[in-house]
Amino acid sequence: MSETLAILPPGHSVASFMAVVREFQAVIGVDNVVVDADRLAPYGKIMIPDEADLHAPAGALTPGSTEDVQKIMAICNRAKVPVWPISTGKNFGYGTAAPVMRGTVVLDLRRMNRVLEFDPVLGTVIVEPGCTYRILKDYLEAHNQPFWIDIPGPGPLVGPVGQALERGMGYSPYGDHFGNACGFEVVLADGQLLHTGNSSIPGSNTFATTRYGYGPHLSGIFSQSNYGVVTKMGLWLMPKPEAYKPFLVVFPNHEDVVKAVDIFQQLKLHNIIKNTPIVGHLLYQIAQREVRAKVFSGTGSVPDAWVSDYAAKNRMGVWACPAALYGTKEQVAADWARVKQAFRGTGATILTDLLLHADKGWQHIKRQLAGELDLDEFALYNWRGGGGSAWFGVTAQARGAEASRIVTLAKGIMKEFDMDFMGGFVVQAREMTAVFDLLYDRTDPAEMAKAYACYAKLLAEFAKIGIGVYRTNIGFMDAAAETQGLVRMEVNKRIKQALDPNGIIAPGKSGIRL
Amino acid sequence: MTSRRNFLKGSAALTAATGIVGGWEMLRGRSHVLVISSHHNAATARSLVAQMFGNHKIRHVPEHEDRENPLRTAIDHLRQPGNTLVAMPSPALHVLLGMAIRDTGARLVEERHHATHPLFIARS
């Protein structure tokens, strides 16, 4: 086996690492310790425009319980072997399962995939990190429970714990995934077990119900961080609404993004629309239907004029925003009247399920808004082919003018590197998140270099105007951290020093390392 | 049964088509081969692998526009020891099948990008 150990944790020899591997095997069994190259290779597969070799793991461990994780952490802490915890490891476009630092051992929690508790009165579940949305949905359906789940784009493959910890977003009124998580069980670097909220009190039953409890609110420091390994999480579920009315608002022109964001922001602020509306650019929809080479013969980025032409020929809008109303029949009827009033005279068109029923893309959106699972969104990767994807997402004030400023800056940079502008704005009452997917051919070194340069410039230029990312990939975590300044970085580091003095948990995550 | 002649013929044809040399050697003698391909690549995938194994040993799952069915089939297949997966999927399904290989603990034997489509082989 030692001959296949091409990659080692920093500071380790083959002999010293093999000694640790044997300790891992004694704890979780030989089959759950992966160090041979051909089984390890899939853990190092990435879609981001960075060299996979820089992020190649030294091994992967698949523990089956919290106790296993505690024992592993105790070994790692003593032997100074760094680990990269993943829940399902499908962080597509952000690094998938690969670590920031080469030689880190992936701690793959996918075998810990149970729904541990469900409370039908309080609408809570407690799940393990490997529990996917598919497992959760099947559980609720098998128990005939009237609750909906909120899902991200990759739907059935990923799970609530990873989504919440990365602060991902969904589509229903429960689309703030971290905001609807309550209660974390965390294995610390020395193997100790922490429960957040008041659930550290013996006999407490408030794990999934009480977010704050007494003292500092600790839950937040375990998201997008490397301060512990989350092994259980509570999640709040949305009761199935009596009435559900999905609809699509379509805007014909590029500059309409201003009014689209402004109107949806007001509808959110006044709680008319309760879900997470996404003002999306047409190219994102086109990319899920077409292969780029078949529909676009030009060079460089797809220009606005081409998008306008496609929109006109296919009777689509340049910007479109799916949204839905949820509640009692009376509430939905009242809210629907307010929605129609809000868009009257704006040039926008409101399309309902009745009109859109036959459209495949709409069927996918309608499923998403109701927490139904599919893999339709993966069609995006057929647009250019070659398996390259890097999500760039920034947070800003929810104003139309701000959206316009973001579009102008992003498009200009993307055009410079021949990238297509595709994505949109997740509009909340006060904040919005702009998310764009840089799709490129990862098998083409020149295209990968352009995608890397484009991402780097986007990060730098947006920071210059005070707009920061909400999340980034494993290749840009240091750069993103630097945009937040020295004080913020130093505080992150001090917390790391206190909780993980040997720096063994996910070194480099969010730019935090000792 | 597949003769050595047919195997070599198929292997040579596949090598010519894909540039893959080594990976196919291990397929010989394996009794359960699952071939997954996009609709676009179905004929190529079927004929090349059939030359090596004979049709009775191959199960072919077309991708069409559905991704969840071939993904589940691949996972079920790779959970059985000693099975082989040959895939010529769309770029979208390629991403997903890569995850299936990892989640089942299978071995990634060969992976190449050929012209418009990726091609890879895994075994459990």
Tell me whether residues A41 and B106 touch, CB distance under 8 A: no
- Burial string for A181-214 (b: 16+ CB within 10 Å, else e) reads bbbbbbbbbebebbbbbbbbeeeeebbbbbbebe
Instruction: Report helix, strand and coil shares of chain B as percent, to nearest 5.
Output: 50, 25, 25
Reading the block at residue A487, the tokens are 């004080």
What is the rounded distance in angstroms from the CA atom of residue A97 to the CA atom of residue A39?
14
Mutation site, B84, B99, B116, B124, interface A, largest A CB count within 10 A: B99
A92 touches chain B (CB under 8 A): yes
* The model's pTM: 0.93
For B105, name the nearest residue in chain A, comparing CA atoms only.
Answer: A39
The domain ranges of chain B are: 4-123
What is the rounded distance in angstroms from the CA atom of residue B34 to the CA atom of residue B15?
19
Q: Which helix (H) or strand (E) is B7 found in, with range?
A: helix B4-18
Q: Give the pairing of strands B33-37 and B84-88.
A: parallel
Q: What is the DSSP letter of A143?
A: T
For B106, name the nearest residue in chain A, comparing CA atoms only.
Answer: A39
For A42, name the nearest residue in chain B, comparing CA atoms only.
Answer: B102
Number of alpha carbons in the 13 Å side-chain half-sphere of residue B102: 29
Q: Specify the CATH architecture of the domain A243-471.
A: 3-Layer(aba) Sandwich (3.40)
Mutation site, B79, B84, B93, B103, interface A, largest A CB count within 10 A: B103
What is the rounded distance in angstroms from the CA atom of residue A162 to the CA atom of residue B94?
22
Q: In Å, how far are A44, A87, A124, A154, B102 from A90, measured between CA atoms?
A: 12, 8, 24, 8, 11
Q: Do A48 and A55 meet the contact criterion of CB atoms below 8 Å apart?
A: no
Q: For A149-169, how does the pLDDT look when each residue is reduced to its tens digit (9 = 90+)?
A: 999 988 889 999 999 999 999
Residues 2-21 of A with CB under 8 A from B: none
Instruction: Please list the pLDDT of chain A residue by residue as tens digits (514 residues).
Output: 444 678 999 999 999 999 999 999 999 999 999 999 888 999 999 999 999 999 999 999 999 999 999 999 999 999 999 999 999 999 999 999 999 999 999 999 999 999 999 999 999 999 999 999 999 999 999 999 999 999 998 888 999 999 999 999 999 999 999 999 999 999 999 999 999 999 999 999 999 999 999 999 999 999 999 999 999 999 999 999 999 999 999 999 999 999 999 999 999 999 999 999 999 999 999 999 999 999 999 999 999 999 999 999 999 999 999 999 999 999 999 999 999 999 999 999 999 999 999 898 999 999 999 999 999 999 999 999 899 999 999 999 999 999 999 999 999 999 999 999 999 999 999 999 999 999 999 999 999 999 999 999 999 999 999 999 999 999 999 999 999 999 999 999 999 999 999 999 999 999 999 9
**Which residue in the set B71, B96, B107 is minimally distant from A39, CB to CB?**
B107
Number of alpha carbons in the 13 Å side-chain half-sphere of residue A324: 24
Chain B neighbors of A39, CB-CB under 8 A: 105-108
Q: What pLDDT, on a 0 to 100 scale, did the predictor assign at position B28?
A: 52
Q: Quick one: fold of A2-111? A: 3.30.43
Q: Do B60 and B35 meet the contact criterion of CB atoms below 8 Å apart?
A: yes
> What's the sign of the alpha-carbon dihedral A100, A106, A110, A115?
negative
Provide the 3-class DSSP secondary structure of residue B40. Answer: helix
Tell me whether residues B101 and A42 touch, CB distance under 8 A: yes
What is the rounded distance in angstroms from the CA atom of residue A384 to the CA atom of residue A47?
13
**Where are the strands (E) in A276-344, listed by range?**
278-281, 319-327
Q: Which helix (H) or strand (E) is B34 found in, with range?
A: strand B33-37
What is the rounded distance in angstroms from the CA atom of residue A100 to the CA atom of residue A214?
34
Chain A neighbors of B113, CB-CB under 8 A: 386, 443
What length does chain B have?
124
Q: For A67-83, how does the pLDDT look when each residue is reduced to its tens digit (9 = 90+)?
A: 999 999 999 999 999 99
Q: Give the DSSP letter string of A408-461.
A: HHHHHHHHHTT----EEEEE-SSEEEEEEEEEEETT-HHHHHHHHHHHHHHHHH
Interface of chain B against chain A, CB under 8 Å? 67-68, 71, 90-96, 98-99, 101-103, 105-109, 113, 116-118
For A89, name the nearest residue in chain B, comparing CA atoms only.
Answer: B99
What is the rounded distance in angstroms from the CA atom of residue A64 to the CA atom of residue B52?
40
Tell me whether residues A156 and B68 touch, CB distance under 8 A: yes
**What are φ and ψ of residue A492, in 5° steps?**
-55, -40
Low-confidence ranges of chain B (pLDDT < 50): 1-11, 15-26
Q: Specify the CATH architecture of the domain A115-239.
A: 2-Layer Sandwich (3.30)
Chain B neighbors of A89, CB-CB under 8 A: 99, 102
Q: Which helix (H) or strand (E) is B121 found in, with range?
A: strand B117-123
Q: Do A261 and A399 meet the contact criterion of CB atoms below 8 Å apart?
A: yes
Measured in Å, how far apart are chain B's first and last C-alpha atoms?
22
Of A440, A432, A320, nearest to A380 by C-alpha is A440
Tell me whether residues B91 and A385 touch, CB distance under 8 A: yes
**Where are the strands (E) in A219-294, listed by range?**
229-236, 238-239, 243-251, 278-281
CATH of B4-123, one of 3.30.70, 3.30.1490, 3.40.50, 3.40.190: 3.40.190
Neighbours of A314 (CB within 10 A): 11
**Which residue in the set B90, B96, B108 is minimally distant from A38, CB to CB?**
B108
Mutation site, B38, B69, B75, B95, interface A, largest A CB count within 10 A: B95
Q: Give the distance from residue B39's alpha carbon to the nearest chain A alpha carbon, in angstroms.
A: 13
Q: Give the distance from residue A86's alpha carbon to the nearest chain B alpha carbon, in angstroms.
A: 12
For A61, name the nearest residue in chain B, comparing CA atoms only.
Answer: B105
Q: Give the distance from residue B107's alpha carbon to the nearest chain A alpha carbon, in angstroms.
A: 5
The yes/no answer to whether this complex scores an ipTM above 0.90 is no
- Burial string for A126-158 (b: 16+ CB within 10 Å, else e) reads bbbbbbbbbbbbebbeeeebebbbbbbbbbbbb
A42 touches chain B (CB under 8 A): yes
The domain ranges of chain A are: 2-111, 115-239, 243-471
Reading the block at residue A222, the tokens are 């375990």
A31 touches chain B (CB under 8 A): yes
A34 touches chain B (CB under 8 A): yes
